[in-house]
Amino acid sequence: MKRMIGYALCAMGGMVSMAFASLETLPFKGDALPGGVSCRGALVDGARWKDASGEHIVILCQTGSFKSPAGGREDERDAEVYAHRYARAGKSWRRAWTVRDFERNCPLDLHAAFLPGSLTVTDLDGNGIAEVTFLYRLACRGDVSPSRMKLIMYEGMRKYALRGVTTMPPEFAFGQRGEMTPDPAFKKAPRAFLEYATARWKAFEIEKSFEQN
């Protein structure tokens, strides 16, 4: 039977959930990554495991805001998010895939960040190959309008995504309901993938904070 567990990340306050079929959880130490495993910005979450394809590490990093490159307005800022999966190859690690997204040239309140607690590693179809799922939000706004939100799921090198906007908190009477569109790739995936992704989206869809990143 598949079961969900959580464990505290070393030197971090985040949690990673793993659903097990034939996955083996390995200790993830955010303050002691193996040589060759790195990304730009601050490391905010990660996980390490073994499945039928070998040993893997996923890391989530974000830059926070920084001044836009020369040529823009003085008050414009950028922010970026990066997700990487590394696969072990003997004594070294090779980068298997990268997700990179960003907000550019923002003169207002800027936000580009992963959602705490959204990273999961699962084997929903029980084939011995892990799925990695996480969510993040992007926004450049001067009011309390919705953020763009994206859910990314990978099984091996196959990528799936949900894209849309957040739902505003109930106290904002003028707020709007969020919306979400599944990637067409889900049509060729096991039904459990979209069901799980949709449930994860709903768990994070309500915007709870309007703090600047």
SS3 3: coil
Report the alpha-carbon distance of residue 22 to residue 79 in Å, rounded. Answer: 37
Among 50-59, 129-138, 174-183, the minimum mean pLDDT is found in 174-183
Instruction: Answer yes or no: are the C-beta atoms of 194 and 186 closer than 8 Å.
Output: yes
* Predicted confidence (pLDDT) per residue in 106-130, tens digit: 999 999 999 999 999 999 999 999 9
* Predicted confidence (pLDDT) per residue in 129-173, tens digit: 999 999 999 999 988 788 999 999 999 999 999 999 998 877 664
Report pTM.
Answer: 0.87
Residue 112: Cβ-neighbour burial (10 angstroms; 0-12, 13-18, 19+) = buried
Which residue in the block uniquely carries the two structure tokens 């949709």? Answer: 198
Confidence of residue 9 (pLDDT cuts 50, 70, 90): very low
**Residue 11 scores a pLDDT above 60:** no
CA-angle at 206, arms to 204 and 209, nearest 5°: 100
**Bridge-based pairing state of the strands 148-155 and 131-141:** antiparallel
